A and B are shown apart, each in its own frame.
Chain A
Amino acid sequence: MKRRTFLQGTLAASAAGLAVSAGLLTPRMVMAEGGAFDAKTLDDALKAMAVAPTDSADIKIKAPEIAENGAVVPVTVTSGVAGTTEISILVDGNPTPLAAMFILGEGTQPEASTRIKMGKTANVIAIAKAGDKAYTAKQEVKVTIGGCGG
């Protein structure tokens, strides 16, 4: 798996090595065979990520109610949970729900923005990790398909 090779190759002396020693990267999790990114259901993804998150109103998801184009849905996740070290974005309606994981350096704000693909109307799910606890929030994004846009 390319990811494993990448990490092993750079662990020696590099930014990734520093991140590992700072406890920001968890080699076992990210190097697991059939990792979280390959999980085909939300439950499997959460298992692979080794998290059992509880709902939190402190996590804000900024995403459109009705996506203009399911191929490019802008999402910003902001975590108000103290000590957030990691933010993940999942889409429960996608064939592989885990879309992105952001591991925050020290001094990095608990917020990340990206643009994701959604195959159909589904929930955008955010997970924030703080220490060994995980929290979650979700927002439904409607995706419509078809028209004259080509």
Chain B
Amino acid sequence: MKKVLTAVAVAMSLSFAALSTVQAGPAEDLTAFQDHFKTAFKDVPFADFKDGAYALDPALKAQWEEMESSFPPYEPDIDAGKAIWEKPFKNGKTYADCMGDIKSIRTKYPYYDAEKDTIMTAETALNDCKTAGDGEGFVDKEGKPLLNKGKIAQLMAYIAMENRGGKINVATPEGKALDWYEKGKNYYYAKRGQLNMSCADCHTNNAGKMIRADLLSPAVGHVTHWPTYRSADGEITTLHNRFMGCNTMTRANNAKAQGDEYKALEYFLTYMSNGLEWNGPGSRK
């Protein structure tokens, strides 16, 4: 079974995106990463990367805009999410008690939590809050954690709507946060699975090209529009659900929603989208 590449191989695949031969830190990575897409898609205003593949194809964009202007498919999920947000827990407390003002939430996450030495994401914070309040987090019918879709995704839909327009602004990783950044960065560039593909293969090196019937989205802007109602799924799902989907499609081992790998990847990808607008919830094919 193929494991993550050695440091040398990772450095080689990194050379696709980072032209500098000097030991680069996150800030240099960010500039190189965003410059790659600005150069590859000169006609796309940087702010438009928040729309993903739709920023690259007018015909697809028109269909997406038709869905959004006629009746966004995620609206019932926003209503459901609002009801979840407002309902008190078994102990009488509410989400607002842990999370603060709803309009302050999206731009806070993800961040490095020094106390817990981990990346804190919005979903994990909400799940922790619910666990403290109800004695149980978001679970499926069998009582197993369900953190990639279902009620947590509906709650995220409400939060996303209330936070639309905020700017992505992850602080430059340093110290112990840098370890998590590197973890996420390595995950993004490492080859994995039966098809021996990395995230970068599609979303950095071939963004804008078709993979059979799908248009490959650029990695810059990946995180902005979650959770997303995907017509293919017929329900609203989270960012980590999409990571899981990609790994399944490329025939790689999957990781757990809100596990270390995906939290690190989310941290890396969100930092790489600094400057773009949060525009969830989203609607996709």
Contact = CB atoms under 8 A, between A and B. Distances in A.
Direct A–B touching, Cβ under 8 Å: yes
A97 to B, nearest CB: 22
Interface in B58-109: 59-60, 62-64, 66-67, 70
Q: How large is the interface on A (under 10, 10 to 19, 20 to 34, 35 or more residues)?
A: 10 to 19
B264 to A, nearest CB: 22
Interface in A131-150: 144-150
Interface string B241-264: 000011011100000000000000
B64 A148 contact: no
B207 to A, nearest CB: 12
Interface string B188-220: 000000000000001000000011111010000
B285 A64 contact: no
A146 B62 contact: no
Contacts of B15: none
Contacts, number: 54
B94 to A, nearest CB: 35
A132 B245 CA distance: 52
Interface in A93-147: 113, 144-147
A68 B248 contact: no
A144 B246 CA distance: 19
Interface residues of B, number: 25
Task: Classify the interface of chain A: helix, strand, loop or mixed.
Answer: loop
A20 interface: no
A72 B231 CA distance: 7
A65 B59 contact: yes
A69 B285 contact: yes
Contacts of A113: 70
A147 B214 contact: yes
B62 A64 contact: yes
A29 interface: no
A150 B212 contact: no
A146 B231 CA distance: 14
A66 B234 CA distance: 20
Contacts of A145: 213
B212 A148 contact: yes
Interface of A: 64-69, 71-72, 74, 113, 144-150
Interface of B: 59-60, 62-64, 66-67, 70, 202, 210-214, 216, 230-232, 234, 245-246, 248-250, 285
9 contacts: A64-B66, A67-B63, A68-B60, A68-B63, A72-B231, A74-B66, A148-B212, A148-B216, A150-B232
